Structure 1
Amino acid sequence: MINNNGTLQEHSEKALSHSNRGLAYGDALFETIRYSGGKLFFWEDHYFRLMASMRIMRMEIPMNFTMEFLEEEIVKTIKASSQENNTVRVKMIVWRTAEGKYTPTTNDISYLISTEILETSFYTLDENFYEVELFKDFYINAGLLSTIKSNNKLINVLGSIYAKENDYNNCLLLNEKKQVVEALNGNLFLVNGYKIKTPPLTDGCLNGVMRKQLIAIIGQLPDYILEETSISPFELQKADELFITNVITGLQPISKYRKKEYETKVATELLSKINVKARLG
């Protein structure tokens, strides 16, 4: 089942028209949320990121778009799909409902909620070999629009194709200043001794919900110092660990980048704390 503006319908039913602005111009936003144990993980952060992104996109936020209303709509969709006892990946898309070409006739919005069952009820550390490479064909622009989850993900699509064609598990993306920004599907963290680095939002990385959670967790640990600072490609091979974060997988350790192979000690420690916070938060 999907939820199309509050109406539940089968996946096979028509949900989008050919004039949909998300389809035609990428004039849309989305959130991916993990549901497990009867709750939406980090729901408040997802909600406020969505509201902030809609303001950046100059979308008209409906009066009924409260945190409680959207949570009810998501849970309603999960229950209608008989998935309330499963772990679920929820995707919510919001697009501008308007005629017009580049200039919309209104800033009103519509939304669609879909779900997909996940295998594990809590975050686990993937110990399979995981190799990455830089994707240098195109660059992310360091700016505010790069920090939001819009439907403009061509670099991520092309980078994913490049990774698949060259037998890499993932790619790291660069901005126009040749700074390492993020992975194809999440934020990047670099561990070097007691220092943990992650690129700042000003470099163009996604304002990730798991990134925010992990920054807060590391800030409470006396053994580590967190730095939001630019990362050059030359630093990657000097690091002790590299890992990628997002709210669906949690934390993905990187095994190898070029000739350098990495540990997973800090990643393992942090993942256990992420699971605790997800359950309590």
Structure 2
Amino acid sequence: MSSAVALEQNFNALSKIIEPCHNIALKVRKLNVSFDGNSYLYRNLDLDIPDGQKLAIIGSNGAGKSTLMRACLGIIPSQSESVHFFDQPVDNRTSRRQKRNVLAKVGFVHQKHNIMERLSVLSNVLHGALGRARFRCLCWNQALAPKQLREEAMECLDRVGLTSLASRPASSLSGGQSQRVAIARALMQKPSLIIADEPVASLDPVAGNEVMALFSELSDETGVTLVFISHHLSHAVKYADRIIGLKQGTINLDVAASNTTVEELGSIYDYA
């Protein structure tokens, strides 16, 4: 079987386990991020991400690409007039329960894989269902999980090509394999929005392109919103609908991917 045919089959199966969202994916108003209370990484930043859009975020190291998404998710402290995911508020005034319910629809693929090395690969993928399972303790270990959840987790592993490693300890994986497990875990959430923080950083060029192609096709076919942070400008042009560039605390660039080139995007790395 060719890699192209295998990838298409993976995508067709994957589209059945992802749920599209029918609201505004993310709306941010007057976001402020400061780590010392005096200087600001962002001040009064506004951002709208329409549902179903594929958005690439680019910028130099230290521009705050990951920080922007983490602030919106409440992972790091910030102040804002409002942050809404799927038309639901997620800010300092939102209750923990409401925030948890809203963010359960967001799949986050971290740059650092955050894999539990002492657990099996399958158990790590099952953790993606923690936000939607009735009894969360049953998602912690494959030995406790019901058959339906184990089967869903195996489907997610199949999408990233790791079913043969399901019972292997996560500590034995290579960096690229760990990232694939992290992607499968995010898919286990059945997300309406996927935020991927440099998702192919640990993959070789061929595998990286396959992963990005899968994300892109998934968004096109199901309407799932995709936000990916990347230093691969070719990926931004090829797989995104829209590209924003961060520089000096602002959105310095906001263009349709079809209207720009890798060479033009390089200007965002001009430190002058």
What range is the shorter-chain TM-score in?
Answer: under 0.3
Question: TM-score, normalised to structure 1's length?
Answer: 0.27
Select the structure that is richer in strand.
1
State which structure, 1 or 2, has the greater radius of gyration over its C-alpha atoms: 1
* TM-score, structure 2 normalization: 0.27
Question: By percentage of residues, which structure has more helix?
Answer: 2
